[in-house]
Amino acid sequence: MEKMWAGRFQKALDKQADDFNSSIHFDSRMFRQDITGSMAHASMLSAKNIISKEDSDLIIATLEVILEDLESGKLEFDLACEDIHMFVESELTKRIGDVGKRLHTARSRNDQVAVDIRLYLRDETEEIISLIKKLISAICNKAEQYKTAIMPGYTHLQRAQPITFAHHILAYGMMLSRDITRLLDAKKRMNYSPLGSCALAGTTYNTDRYMTAEKLGFDGITLNSIDGVSDRDFCAELLSAFSILMMHLSRFSEEIILWSSWEFKFIELDDSYTTGSSIMPQKKNPDMAELVRGKTGRVYGDLISMLTVLKGIPLAYNKDMQEDKESIFDAVDTVKMCLGVFTPMIETMTLLCDNMYKAAQKGFINATDLADYLVKKGMPFRTAYKHVGEIVAYCIKENLVLETLPIEKYKEFDSLFESDLYNEISLETCVSKRISQGGTGIESINKQLEYLSEYTK
């Protein structure tokens, strides 16, 4: 196929170089955005009397049919075209001849591709936000279901203090709510139209960029045409937001993997989200969670590759920038896939509450509460802390726990101890008395659920 730019050349492009240069096999996914952008451009050209109304109407009507034909599979992408922009234009010209050739007036592929990616990512970001909302919803439902289920809270992966499962899982809800705000924020900055920046310097035609921007749902236009065609900040921003989101999913996955091990056995994943082993008949592996953890590295890779592509290129457009798409597309696909399987995995998992409770009974996780007991009786916290440390050491030596150490023994350590201490250090009390704002107590759980309900709508 003869290139659109063949006029200046004596020889055709080498076959290998042509394949190397071509991007249609990955940028064809932006066909809807490319066509919508072209329609807006054509109607602006006629509104500003740059092309005739009849030509513009014919271009738009034909583009509509091309879009339908692509949607229905009647029309296939011609991989001999360099990219999606060339393909749509050549298909248009095939169908309506010279009129089609008028579309590229006052436009360049440089602003065209910049507008296409923004439109594409705007839609995908919306889609990803709605997937995150579903996950937050699943988390809130689990938290409701297991509002009072007690489990050990950890620091350094050592049993630390008793918490409820609801409190633990809602921490992930909070992270995900921030992910949504990060994406919305990135979307805000991304939503400016570069269309009409042309190759880099603008154009001599009397175009109206605000008109196309409005038609395409942008909040305004990019004010510097060089920046308009060179800027891929929004890709880097989205990729960092995706990376942080994946980091959250990966941490959550890590806990799912730990909790479903025999060592913990806090949860049972549903059969439909686990796999078996080809050799060990007893195995039930948390592959989905592991893959999400693994794919996080891949999304980080996409971010680094985008930043690296951009770091050394001079203004304005350079072909290096064609490399933006595979990274961002890969990240979009990966994030969507991960959220798609993560949410039902959470929805269908079962909690083994007894095991969690038993784990919370071990490890002296009520030691802080015992110290607080003494503090409430007037002892300075540091002194109480030291006393309890000695009591814990004694219990370990005698193979006892704080609940089974007799009151007489407590009194030997300090006369402030009375038999009401046992109630104060019960796991239920430890949890229900943590009434501080944001703590594991029930009032805070309800507040968290209420806050997160804003992110499920």
Interacting residue ranges for ligand ARG, rule: CB under 6 A: 23, 27, 83, 109-110, 113, 317, 319, 321-322
Residues forming beta bridges with residue 152, ordered by sequence position: 162
Of 130, 277, 419, 436, the active-site residue reads 277
Rounded distance between C-alpha atoms, residue 32 and residue 46, angstroms:
22
The helix/strand count (H/E) of the chain reads as 19, 6
Rounded distance between C-alpha atoms, residue 303 and residue 328, angstroms:
8
When the beta carbons of 321 and 365 are compared against ligand ARG, the nearer one is 321
Rounded distance between C-alpha atoms, residue 298 and residue 416, angstroms:
58
Nearest distance in Å: CB 306, ligand ARG: 13
- Per the annotation, the verdict on 277 as an active-site residue is yes
Token pair 């994406």 in the structure block, residue: 183
16, two tokens: 């290998």
124, two tokens: 């995908």
Cβ(306)–Cβ(239) under 8 Å? yes
When the beta carbons of 230 and 253 are compared against ligand ARG, the nearer one is 230
Q: Which amino acid is at 400?
A: L
When the beta carbons of 110 and 253 are compared against ligand ARG, the nearer one is 110
Positions marked active-site: 156, 277
